Structure 1
Amino acid sequence: MIVFLGVGKKDSEKDVEWMCEKILNLRIFEDESGKMNRNVINIKGGILIISQFTLYGDCRRGRRPSFSDAAPPEYGKYLYKKFVEMVREKVQNVSEGIFGAHMDIKVINDGPVTLLLDSERRF
């Protein structure tokens, strides 16, 4: 599983807790019947977590994205590390990107599932 994690300036540790529980318990992996009934913990899967502040790029106005809703770097890094720590408590195979680094990431999407989760829209 690959998680691109964007941290917003309004996010808190409660958002991180919710996101961790939601992601780890999503039943998006097939069981023996071919139904999506297993989560990453059930299949003993691994997770790659990459910080991605550009998920907060607002392109509704103008021609340049605004990142004003993204968390400041220090706060974003704190919540990103908190998320990684929480995931590591429940999943054995966890890798992470380098916060704030320019990374070259190649992703092969093997399957039909790409989801967007937003802790602000959970209610």
Structure 2
Amino acid sequence: MTINYRAIHTRSLWRKARHSSVRMAIEGPDGALNLLRRKGRVGKKWDDYGPVSCVFVWESGEDSGYAFRLKAASTTDVESVIIPIHKLLAHEHTSSCSQVDIDRYFSSPEFTKFM
């Protein structure tokens, strides 16, 4: 089982990080929720790589994964959606995801809200 975690920062457009499980990649001390909220040691990544616009988490071999971002005008409220694996793998291939794509994931009814 390989857990894939990719953070989209202003100075690192496809930053990879290792995690032992999907749950740890999302809720753990170094997970997506703490990164977006700038909590703990993972929150210091903002200083190194710039603000975070989105975090993607998926497990290899699964049909879908997750995207997380802060809700507009919030520093603590996170929204999340389920993303089909083919979309995640396309971004993985280019090591990037545009802000247009991120915005579409969170605004289109094509993508199911998560959490």
For this structure pair, what is the TM-score category when the shorter chain's length is used for normalisation? under 0.3
Higher helix share: 2
Q: Using CA pairs below 8 Å that are at least 6 residues apart, which structure has the higher relative contact order?
A: 1
Larger Rg: 1
**TM-score normalized by the length of structure 2:** 0.28
Higher strand share: 2
